[in-house]
Amino acid sequence: MLSIGKIDASPGVAARYYKQGDYYTKSTQEVSAWAGKGSQLLGLNGPVKARDLEKVLSGILPKGHTAGWANNHKGHAKGWDLTFSAPKGVSVMATVGTDNRLVQAHRESVKEALSWMETYAYVRVRSEDKSIVFKQTGNLVAGMFTEFFSRALDPQLHTHCPVANMTYDTERTGWYALHSDALYKMKMAAGQIYRNALAFRARELGYAITANARTGLFDITGVPESLLDIYSQRRKEIKEHADKEGWKSAEDLARATLLTRPNKKHADHESIMGDLRLRAKDNLLSLAKLKLHAEQREAPVQRDTKHARRAVKLGLSHLSSREAVFEHGHAVQESLKTNIGQVTLEDIEAELPEQSGRYRYQSTQQQTGGKRIYQGHTLENSVVWETRLWKLLERGRRVVRPLANEKRTHTALAVSSLTQEQKGAARYVLRSRNRFLSIEGVAGAGKSHLIRTLVEAVPSRIFYALAPTASAALDLGESAGIQGGTLAGFLQKGGRDTNHKTILVVDEASMSSTRQAVRLMQIAEKKFARILFTGQRKQFDSIEQGKPYSLMLDAGLEGPYLKKSYRQKNGAMKYLVAAAKDGKVSSVFNLLGDRVEEIDNECLAKEVADKWIGHAKRDHIQIASLDNKGRIAINGYIRDHLQSDGIISSRDHQFHVLSSKALTPAQLTLADYYDKGDRVVFHMGHNSMDVEKDEQYEVLQVKSGMVHLKPRKSGKPLIFDPLTSTTKGMSLYRYLSRELSVGDKIQWRQNLSNGHNIQNGHTGKVVAINGDKATITFDHGVQSTIDLKEHPYWDHGYAITTYKQQGKTTPINWIVANTQNSPEINQKTLYVSVSRAQYSVQIFTDNVKRFRSTIEKNPGGKTSSLEGLGVDIKLPEAEDRRIPETRHLEKIFDRFPENIRTSAMNVLDIFEQRRRTHEQHADRHPTISKATKSLGKDLKTSAAEQTRSRENEAGHDARTAEPSHSRAYEGIER
């Protein structure tokens, strides 16, 4: 494990603190040493002297070296402490087991990680245009102090590496302050490099290891568990604190380590060792045998490139499923985690450039996304998908006829209740010649009302509402009076029933992934349909890779922008939302004033629940937590209050719910992500494993990389290796207990069809419970009795997450931001959260200063491969792609009734689309295509179909126009 902390003590005190490690050993082995290329430049080598360390921490340089900080060393920040700690079993064997080989292995592993950390040494430089840029220097001035015991005097082999706040800039030939953000960002990566290096060396020393690909941790196999418990006073303190906070990740454990650190005790080496031997009792013999056995097995480990190749593919697959561009250090970290003890930094660094095909690893030059990237990389596959998106958008311009003629457009808008801004947007859509269009607008701009007007304006068209979330699709569908469904569901069916009359309205378009957008546009192009994207780029992005909506807008996706919001009902809220939209964080907090309340972390959830219970308007308040743990805690406290007050039944019924682990496809292939008691659900059948669709299994155990499953219903147990078996269409869930009472408010968390008409995100009230079944009245007017054992996809709904809030409206919004648990605190989160409210917003956080500064530093947003590579994605000016003959016919067809005009115009569009396809094919293959011969037949057939349709607007039989229609189509055929 690696922890990083700022050195706050004075340089003299800090230097003495590090040198106190000398009393821990009486061996001839040096416990301190200078490290880093920067130390060599200053002539600092060998053991660290307190006086030299005090000088570099003070910013005092030897003669002949130039300091770039103001007033030489006065007020100079001292530096940072990087502490590398060995696993418990390694520490026990190195100290009580007296295996000095492990001490040396530890120190060499620390050097390896620290040396790599130098590649993330940067300085801030103000460029000629006054902007701040970050420049890589590649050198650190650091010391290494190895200690053997924890503050509680348990075995804990660890090395403190004080890193001075200085690095040498070769271009400016001087020393400048170190930019520490990059070190903090790469903390987990450097820690993983250290662990993999130590695990590999431990194996070479003859030890067997046990590793976990999920946590990235390992330890020596064979050290008695009872002894580890005896020597784990400190670990127990950390674990108790982490459990209390609900922390589980490596980052959380590192945080708990710092928060629970006691003062250092002073004792000599021999007395500590005597105490440890006394506490070990009968286990000393076991340690001696383990050491002897390891010494007999000591031998070099043969490296196999297939391990590195597999590790890199898993690491890159995991990262690229969420982001198009990522840090090189994170690619190293994720790759190393999958094969601890088999591969080291050297193997991964050698394999990454060797990747080819869709995994080709290429560096990026430009910043992209909301967070600073120091050494960005992307994959060829990500570039390909974004390029497809760009090409589809380019091919979709000026290729279709307007949805309505001028007269129809004027009539439809004249009788509508739209505002002038909305009418302008509607007119743009009705008269556009683009297959792909956008209506972007601020939150609450009335886009749904506008869509309803479009539906009414062209009744012969088939509008269909799509959205990344089911609730957003249904909300749009209900408000616009059209059918709707999820984007994923639509794509899974291949766009079935889509044709040339279809207009796909994609709401909350910013939440769609690149792959989803590309596949949808491919369907529309193939079936001559149209797509209208609606949303706002400043709202939440997809969980998966990409930001296609934002990219298309930058490239030239055309459409109106709605500036006015109708959601906020008072001036204060309008100003607040406008400031959040523009990223004016300081203005947002000034406008909120005392409505940003700081509450201690341990009491945050409870106090918010108490305030909600005591509020006179609580039924109009939506609580939105930035993290899932906070949501669950708030729901629990609110239920306790409501039961005490008799508002919900005091009788609890015991149920279980499935909570998704939200793993990437790469993570699903690793057995370490499966825990006993988890539930595996196969959303599609697999004949190879004899698994049926929607079948649910319980994880009985995970052994030697094999996952043992038991079917929930009758059937044979299943044993499978996720690494070699297909995991497509499979999800992994935690199996959690939940209490439910009559009167409880719940939120449904999965789409439920079969006559229920309930979607993910719908909320409702429990009106009856009978055995495993609950009768629920949902807020959208549906009452349904559901078997909760059969469908365990729900949770209490008093508080929700901010991500679930997008697209929703509430009178009052309470935002709960725990800065220690919330993974995404940024300007997008702030904007979405405050823009949900009509009348008022209140923010509760454990640390106002940290919450605000985090938002100021992080605009939020996904990365893009093309942006990172510096590709100019702006489309060239579009040309009118109609041929002269069809321009003349278009004017004729504009006079027809709306339903006949629609079909006639579609015929022209299809004809020209095929012509363009044929020309492109002919350019590549100069042969005459038979496809052209069928065009006349297709058009004539379509003409015959149109003559059989009835005129709705003029009220007369369409057959009266048959001769002229037929002549027109015959002209095309000729």
Is the distance from CB of 406 to CB of 890 less than 8 angstroms? no
Q: Do 535 and 496 share a structural domain?
A: yes
Determine the average pLDDT of the residues in 84-98.
95
**pLDDT, mean of residues 364-378:** 94
> What's the domain count of the chain?
5
Distance separating alpha carbons of residues 117 and 304, to the nearest angstrom: 26
Average pLDDT of the residues of the chain? 87
Predicted confidence at residue 726, as pLDDT, reads 84
Does 30 have pLDDT greater than 60?
A: no
- List the structure tokens of 512: 């769609």
Mean pLDDT of 34-52: 93
Shared-domain flag, residues 64 and 198 = yes
Q: What is the mean pLDDT of residues 723-738?
A: 92
Buried b (16+ CB within 10 A) or exposed e, 866-878: bbbbeeebebeee
- 187-196, 239-248, 398-407, 532-541: the lowest-pLDDT one: 239-248
Per-residue confidence at 250, pLDDT binned at 50, 70, 90?
Answer: low
Position 413 in a domain = yes
Determine which of 9-13, 43-47, 401-405 has the lowest per-residue pLDDT on average: 9-13
For residues 682 and 684, what is the distance between their CA atoms, to the nearest angstrom? 5
Per mean pLDDT, which range of 53-62, 415-424, 835-844 is the poorest? 53-62
**Residue 581 covered by a domain:** no
CB 939 within 8 A of CB 965: no
pLDDT confidence of residue 627: 93
Residue 831: inside a domain: no
Pair 345, 236 in one domain: no
CA distance 64 to 61: 8
CA distance 144 to 130: 38
- pLDDT tens digits, one per residue of 541-566: 999 999 999 999 999 999 999 999 99
Rounded Cα–Cα distance for residues 530 and 436 (Å)? 6
Residue at which a domain ends, from 270, 297, 324: 297
Q: Please check whether residue 587 is in contact with residue 603, taking contact to mean a CB–CB distance below 8 angstroms.
A: no
Please identify, among 526, 542, 562, the residue that sits at the C-terminal boundary of a domain. Answer: 562
Q: Considering just the CA atoms, what is the radius of gyration of the chain in Å?
A: 33
- Could you tell me if residue 767 is inside a domain? no
Query: How much is the pLDDT for 25?
Result: 38
| Cβ–Cβ < 8 Å for 440, 537 | yes
Residue 182 lies in a domain: yes
Tokens standing for 309? 């190749």
Looking at the predicted structure, is the pLDDT value of residue 969 above 60? no
Residue 173 phi/psi, 5-degree rounding, is 45, 50
Q: Hey, is 966 helix, strand or coil? A: helix
Name beta bridge partners: 503.
Answer: 463, 530
| Residues 938 and 888 placed together within one structural domain of the fold | yes
User: Using CA atoms, how far apart are residues 887 and 530, in angstroms rounded to an integer?
Assistant: 20
Mean pLDDT to the nearest integer, 876-894? 74
Contact residues for 622 (Cβ-Cβ < 8 A; gap 6+): 800, 805, 808, 810, 812, 813, 814, 836
Give the SS3 label for residue 168. strand
Locate tokens 């499979």: which residue?
730
Is 105 found in the same domain as 32? Answer: yes
| End-of-domain residue from the set 251, 277, 297 | 297
Task: Give the domain CATH number at 411.
Answer: 3.40.50.300
Per-residue pLDDT at 454: 96
Instruction: Please determine, for residue 939, whether its predicted confidence score (pLDDT) is greater than 50.
Output: no
Cβ-contact 890, 908 below 8 angstroms: yes
Which of 493-512 are b and which e, b meaning 16 or more Cβ less than 10 Å from the residue's Cβ? Answer: eebeebebbbbbbbbbbbbb
Residues 620 and 841: their CA atoms lie apart, in Å, by 12
Contacts of 477 (CB under 8 A, 6+ apart): 465, 483, 484
**pLDDT bracket for residue 152 (50, 70, 90):** confident
607 found inside a domain = no
Residue 18 clears pLDDT 90, i.e. is over it: no
Q: Give the per-residue pLDDT at 906.
A: 79
If asked whether residues 368 and 439 sit together in one domain, one would say no
Per mean pLDDT, which range of 500-509, 708-717, 767-776, 964-973 is the poorest?
A: 964-973
Average of pLDDT values for 10-25? Answer: 64
Q: Is 811 helix (H, G, I), strand (E, B) or coil?
A: strand
Task: Work out the burial of residue 120: count CB atoms within 10 Å of its CB; fewer than 13 is exposed, 13-18 middle, 19 or more buried.
Answer: buried
Distance CA 315, CA 624 (A): 33
User: What's the rounded Cα separation, in Å, for the pair 788 and 748?
Assistant: 11
**If you average pLDDT over residues 808-826, what whole number do you get?**
92
Is 539 inside a domain boundary?
yes
Taking residues 820-833, report their average pLDDT. Answer: 90
Amino acid at 467: A
Do 60 and 208 reside in the same domain of the chain? Answer: yes
Distance CA 316, CA 328 (A): 10
487-536 tens-digit pLDDT: 999 999 999 999 999 999 999 999 999 999 999 999 999 999 999 999 99
Q: What is the edge-to-edge ordering of all strands in the sheet holding 155-164? A: 2-6, 79-85, 155-164, 142-149, 32-35
Q: Can you tell me the distance from the alpha carbon of 181 to that of 471, in angstroms, rounded to the nearest whole number?
A: 39
For residue 776, which of 787, 764, 788 has the smallest C-alpha distance? Answer: 764
CA distance 96 to 276: 7
Q: State the maximum Cα–Cα separation within the chain, in Å, rounded to a whole number.
A: 110
Instruction: Name the region of 412 (left: φ>0; alpha: ψ -120 to 50; beta: rest).
Output: alpha
**Does 414 score more than 50 pLDDT?**
yes
Q: What is the 3-state secondary structure (H, E, C) of 883-924?
A: CHHHHHHHHHHCCCCHHHHHHHHHHHHHHHHHHHHHHHHHHH
Q: Residue 278 falls within a domain, yes or no?
A: yes
DSSP conformation class of 194? H
pLDDT at 164 over 70: yes
Q: Give the pLDDT band of residue 326 (cuts 50, 70, 90).
A: very high
The rounded distance, in Å, linking the Cα atoms of 398 and 504 is: 18
**257-263 average pLDDT score:** 61
pLDDT of residue 929: 36
393: part of which helix (H) or strand (E)?
helix 380-395
Written as six digits, the tokens of 509 are 């378009």
Q: At 375, is the pLDDT very low, low, confident or very high (cuts 50, 70, 90)?
A: very high
One domain, residues 69 and 190: yes
Identity of residue 940: K
CA-closest candidate to residue 383, choices 398, 397, 363: 363
CB neighbour burial string for 144-154, b if at least 16 within 10 angstroms, e if fewer:
bbbbbbbbebb
Residue of 898 and 85 predicted with greater confidence: 85
How many residues are recorded in the chain?
974
Helix then strand then coil, in percent of the chain rounded to 5, is 45, 20, 35
Answer yes or no: is pLDDT of 818 > 80: yes
Q: Do both 254 and 375 map to the same domain?
A: no
Q: Are residues 276 and 342 in the same domain?
A: no
Residues 376-390: what's their mean pLDDT?
A: 97
The 3-state DSSP class for residue 342 equals coil
CATH number at residue 685: 2.30.30
pLDDT average, residue stretch 18-37: 65
Q: How far is it, in rounded angstroms, from Cα 932 to Cα 65?
A: 78
Model pLDDT, residue 910: 80
Confidence of residue 887 (pLDDT cuts 50, 70, 90): confident
Hey, CA dihedral for 189, 515, 872, 552, is it positive or negative? Answer: negative
Q: List, as one string, the DSSP characters of 646-683.
A: TSS-S--EEEEEEEE----HHHHT-GGG--TT-EEEES
Between the alpha carbon of residue 555 and those of residues 386, 388, 669, 779, 866, the distances in Å are 11, 13, 37, 40, 11
CA terminus-to-terminus distance, the chain: 78
Is 102 within 8 Å of 157 (Cβ atoms)? yes
State mean pLDDT over 684-709. Answer: 89
The domain of 257 spans: 2-297
pLDDT class of 907 with cuts at 50, 70, 90 = confident
Express as a percent the part of the chain with pLDDT over 90.
66
More confident residue, 946 or 501: 501
Residue 921 pLDDT more than 70?
no
* pLDDT classification of 883: cutoffs 50, 70, 90: low
Choice among 696-700, 827-831, 903-907 with the minimum mean pLDDT: 903-907
pLDDT (mean) for 751-768: 85
**CA contacts within 13 A on the Cβ side of 682:** 21
For residues 743-753, average pLDDT: 90
Q: In terms of domains, do 544 and 520 share one?
A: yes
Classify residue 708 as exposed, middle or buried by CB count within 10 Å of its CB (0-12, 13-18, 19+). middle
- Pair 78, 14: CB distance under 8 Å: yes
pLDDT of the residue at 928: 33
Residue 28 has pLDDT above 50, yes or no: no
Counting residues of the chain whose pLDDT is more than 70, the rounded percentage is 89
Tell me the average pLDDT across 881-898: 74
Classify residue 28 by its DSSP letter.
S
- Does residue 17 surpass a pLDDT of 80? no
What pLDDT does residue 759 have? 83
DSSP letters, 926-942, are -S--THHHHHHHHHHHH
CB of 453 within 8 A of CB of 426? yes
Q: Which amino acid is at 441?
A: G
Nearest-angstrom CA–CA distance, 936 and 911: 9
Answer yes or no: do 374 and 248 share one domain.
Answer: no
pLDDT band with cut points at 50, 70 and 90 for residue 905: confident
Range 229-257 average pLDDT: 70
What pLDDT, in 10s, does the model give residues 334-351? 999 999 999 999 999 999
| Whole-number Cα distances in Å, 442 to 447, 537, 829 | 9, 9, 15
Q: How confident is the model at residue 235, as a pLDDT?
A: 64
Q: What mean pLDDT do residues 7-36 have?
A: 68
pLDDT in tens, 654-680: 999 999 999 999 999 999 999 999 999
Alpha carbon 729 to its chain centroid, in Å, reads: 20
